[in-house]
Amino acid sequence: MRARSLPGLWCTAAILSVACSSPGTYSEERWSYWDLDDSADTPIAVASQPAPHPSPVPPPRRTVHRPTRPGNGDDEPTEQAADEQPPHFAPIYNRWYAPGRPNMDLGVPVEPPPYLEVNKPASPWNPYRQNVLKGDFPILGTEDVFLNTIWTYRQLVNNRRVPTPSGITGTGSIVDPGFFGDSHQDFWRHDAALTIDLFKGQQAFKPVDWRVRLTPVFNYTDLGLEEPGAVKIDVSEGNTRQERDFALQEALIEYHLFDLTDRYDFISSELGIFPFRSDFRGFVFDDVNLGARIFGNYDDNKWQYNLVFFDMLDKDTNSELNKFDDREQEVFIANLYRQDWPVLGFITQASFHYNNDHRGQHFDDNGFLVSPAPVGLAMDNEVESYYLGLAGEGHFDRINVTAAFYQAYGEDDLNPFAARKVDINAQLAALELSYDIDWYRWRLYAMHASGDDNTRDGDAEGFDAIFDAPNFAGGEFSYFNSQLIQLLGVRLTSQLSPLADLQSSKLEGKSNFVNPGINLIGVAWDAEVTPTLRTMIGTTYLRFDHSEVLETYLELPEVEREIGWEFFMGTQWRPLLTQNIIFQLGTSALIPGDGFERIYQSDETLYSLFLNTILTW
């Protein structure tokens, strides 16, 4: 891998993600007590208190085994005679070493935990048996410093049909029947990640005192097409591409600044490379990147807030993992959540986003120009955009509701499609309603992302996000949301985004507010067939909001707005009833409408079939 330079200074800003932590650490003088009454079936933890007065009738003489403090070198139980009045309670050093813990005999005559094979040794590969590597016990001889390690392996296999240029590497200017060739593609992706999470604090009622978290990731991708010149700019590279990458995807330090009240209303901070989603579904920003944030809560967690600043890192074109190269883009986000408003069970959020993207000339790792976008004269431009948003998620009685509205404004000093400076004025609105009936749920959803109706008028009215990945309208199971659909040097839509924004690259290009926009409406049926098997079936109707930008760019008159009908189905199977082994199988199809057929000169039904395997320890 080539050397990568760290970006420059950046300032702290802020965020909220409500963290819960523990009731405080136990000092050497604080003890828990367990009932030693032989008549009790199971031990009962009670509050710390002195032993009760003895009964008038002396109890029979018996031996009581007292637990010893783990690690103090005294492994022998003590004996106590009856005339010394044996207590009804015996002290336990702390809750981490309570009686009955597998393979930890403290000499207390209590029953083991239920459903546990007493004589069977604990397997280190079972994350549901107490394990020091899973944060169940403190490490380094401390009372409240824990280590949690997570191993994750993901394998994605995707067979699909996506419009593919027929061996042409330039941007072209006019669509003709021979421009797009064989659309068949095969894609494999492998990710192996290790998360090391070291933190201080017991995480029961308050946030951790501090945390250090690292996640190195190894990635391998294999893409096979039927057309040359699409995987790399050099046609001699053929029509397949195998790439490997290694990245430090997460590297953060979290520090608890102070508490605001005695109910653990707090302010904490994070610094480094960390994940952040700016709203409930990720409509505007959802990424893992380099930044700083302040987050906390107030009034018994009714208010939650985030302030975050990102000095964006560049992404690898094929693995989509972070590099240590400066992206020349800064993002600032502030949001505020209010629990149970305007009704109980509903959370309301207000947010502000700022994006300053001043990236200069840049070619991606496959040799394609992505900044500036390869449109027209392909001259450098700077995009400065602002977003005001209001969103909510929760339920009104039995109706589950997700709603979001964003107003974008700002300017692009030289938009490639308009070939001039443009003022941004665009909107996004999304709504999902669902209703639960026993083991299944009906969902109705709709989205409007405004489009530009005049390419050259100096107003940019097509909505675009900063770095979106919305779990909406089928999410990763949807064809239009999940596939990267190319269009003459730019993309009609990018992977994991439903926006028809004509970006050159979601990862490495700039937001583009001169675009056709999109309107969609659909219905889905979700079902929990068994405790281990879930399924989803749905259909969506899609239309461009305006098609004038497409007509101007493609020099193609009379492009209809209809994109077409999409059908999707997916299942998730958890054979162990846990998150350790997950299989996701999904299929989707897009039946082109008049507008899509006109653009791609084909009425071929496009499809995607994928299997996603996730193994976690």
Report all structural domains of the chain as residue ranges with CATH numbers, in order of start: 28-135 (no CATH), 145-176+187-616 (2.40.160.100)
Distance, CA of 518 to CA of 594 (rounded, Å): 15
Q: What are the CA-CA distances from residue 15 to residues 276, 277, 297, 468, 529 (Å)? A: 9, 10, 10, 18, 38
- Give the pLDDT confidence score for residue 489 in this predicted structure: 87
- Give the pLDDT confidence score for residue 73 in this predicted structure: 43
The token pair that represents 20 in the structure block: 């819960």
Mention every residue, 6+ apart, whose C-beta is less than 8 A from residue 330: 10, 309, 310, 311, 312, 354, 355, 356
- Give the pLDDT confidence score for residue 86 in this predicted structure: 56
Distance, CA of 374 to CA of 361 (rounded, Å): 11
The span from the first CA to the last CA of the chain, in angstroms, equals 29
Q: Which amino acid is at 524?
A: A
Burial of 104 (0-12, 13-18, 19+ CB in 10 A): middle
- Give the pLDDT confidence score for residue 43 in this predicted structure: 37
Number of Cβ within a 10 Å radius of residue 492: 26
Distance, CA of 172 to CA of 135 (rounded, Å): 57
What are the backbone angles phi and psi of residue 300, rounded to the nearest 5°? 55, 40
Distance, CA of 493 to CA of 363 (rounded, Å): 19
The closest of 43, 205, 20 to 114, measured between CA atoms, is 43
Distance, CA of 339 to CA of 346 (rounded, Å): 7
State pLDDT tens for residues 125-149. Answer: 776 677 788 888 888 878 889 999 9
- Give the pLDDT confidence score for residue 115 in this predicted structure: 55
Q: What are the CA-CA distances from residue 16 to residues 20, 212, 295, 353, 597 (Å)? A: 12, 18, 4, 15, 45
The closest of 434, 436, 431, 428 to 468, measured between CA atoms, is 428
pTM of the full structure? 0.81
The answer to whether 402 and 538 have CB atoms below 8 angstroms apart is: no
Q: What are the CA-CA distances from residue 249 to residues 211, 274, 285, 314 (Å)? A: 16, 8, 17, 12
DSSP string, 284-346: SBEEEEEEEEEEEEETTTTEEEEEEEEEEEEE-TTT--EEEEEEEEEEEEEEEEETT-SSTTE
- Give the pLDDT confidence score for residue 94 in this predicted structure: 55
Distance, CA of 597 to CA of 426 (rounded, Å): 27
Mention every residue, 6+ apart, whose C-beta is less than 8 A from residue 542: 480, 518, 519, 520, 562, 563, 564, 565, 566, 593
Which stretches of the chain score pLDDT less than 70?
Answer: 1-124, 127-128, 167-178
Distance, CA of 177 to CA of 599 (rounded, Å): 10
Q: Is the peptide bond prior to 372 cis by the omega test (within 30 degrees of 0)?
A: yes
Q: What are the CA-CA distances from residue 85 to residues 63, 68, 482 (Å)? A: 11, 19, 71
Stated length of the chain: 617
- Give the pLDDT confidence score for residue 592 in this predicted structure: 96
Mention every residue, 6+ apart, whose C-beta is less than 8 A from residue 310: 276, 287, 289, 290, 291, 330, 331, 332, 333
Distance, CA of 68 to CA of 70 (rounded, Å): 6
The answer to whether 374 and 429 have CB atoms below 8 angstroms apart is: no
Q: What are the CA-CA distances from residue 133 to residues 87, 99, 199, 533, 579 (Å)? A: 36, 20, 12, 29, 17
